[in-house]
């Protein structure tokens, strides 16, 4: 029965190997909860302005997820004074690129989202929001962070408060008077590798007064 002695030895070694692997995997998997918290900060630090895109298409579902993130932003008195125009017709993207010389990267983009303020949204006193540019900016930042987390590239190109750009976008998209475009965000998969800048500057921080 020396055979079973050898089998026992082999099995014992295999078991030890399996247990070592199991302990190792558990150790590697353990910090998942922390990683998922850090993932938020890492994504904030990894976000960059992406101005060049591949031919890979971006789906309506992906664009909808970006807007779901945008609408999760806070707004003054919870007025949500925002509207969003998804532009994914190539001819219309090209028109925006012609109208907006500062947003030439639109030519390569698979889609664009135009974030707009809506002055027809009024508070309980009947007044439109005085905070819509801030609310729409917070919504835009959510959108940009969501894009980064989904492997997409995007960049904020300013429209408001430049009258010629505001009028150009209003004309291209047939916007009513009460809708003001704050920015145009070209979107696509990043072409080439682009790195985020480290913009931390301790001189920007003051403590308990100037």
Is residue 116 within 8 Å of 180, Cβ to Cβ?
yes
For strands 111-118 and 82-87, give the pairing: antiparallel
Stretch that binds a copy of itself, among 51-59, 81-89, 186-194 (CB under 8 A): 81-89
Q: Smallest Cα–Cα separation from 73: which of 38, 122, 127, 115?
A: 115
- What b-and-e string marks burial along 180-196, b requiring 16 or more CB atoms within 10 Å of the CB? bbbbbbbbbbbeeeeee
Q: In the range 153-182, which residues lie near a copy of itself by CB under 8 A?
A: 155-156, 158, 161-162, 172-176, 179, 182
C-alpha radius of gyration, the chain, whole number: 25
Residue 124 touches a copy of itself, criterion: CB under 8 A: no
CB of 8 to a copy of itself, least distance (A): 5
Q: In the range 83-122, which residues lie near a copy of itself by CB under 8 A?
A: 83-89, 92
CB of 54 to a copy of itself, least distance (A): 19
Q: In the range 27-56, which residues lie near a copy of itself by CB under 8 A?
A: 28-29, 32, 35-41, 43-45, 47, 49
Residue 25 touches a copy of itself, criterion: CB under 8 A: yes
Rounded Cα gap, residues 183 and 84, in angstroms: 10
Please count the residues of this chain forming the interface with a copy of itself, following the rule CB under 8 A.
94
């Amino acid at each position: 029965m020396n055979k079973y002695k050898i089998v026992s030895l082999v099995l014992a070694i295999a078991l030890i190997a399996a247990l070592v692997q199991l302990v190792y995997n558990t150790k590697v998997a353990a910090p998942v909860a922390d990683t998922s918290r850090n993932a938020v900060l890492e994504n904030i630090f990894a976000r960059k302005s992406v101005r060049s895109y591949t031919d890979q298409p971006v789906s309506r579902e992906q664009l909808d997820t970006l807007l779901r993130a945008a609408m999760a932003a806070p707004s003054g008195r919870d007025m949500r004074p925002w509207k969003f125009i998804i532009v994914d017709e190539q001819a219309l993207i090209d028109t925006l690129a012609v109208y907006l010389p500062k947003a030439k990267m639109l030519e390569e983009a698979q889609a664009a989202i135009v974030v707009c303020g809506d002055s027809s949204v009024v508070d309980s006193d009947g007044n439109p929001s005085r905070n819509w540019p801030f609310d729409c900016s917070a919504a835009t930042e959510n959108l940009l962070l969501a894009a980064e987390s989904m492997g997409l590239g995007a960049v904020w190109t300013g429209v408001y408060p430049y009258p010629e750009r505001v009028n150009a976008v209003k004309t291209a998209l047939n916007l009513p008077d009460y809708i003001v475009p704050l920015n145009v965000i070209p979107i696509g998969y990043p072409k080439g590798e682009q790195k985020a800048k480290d913009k931390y500057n301790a001189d920007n921080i003051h403590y308990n007064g100037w």
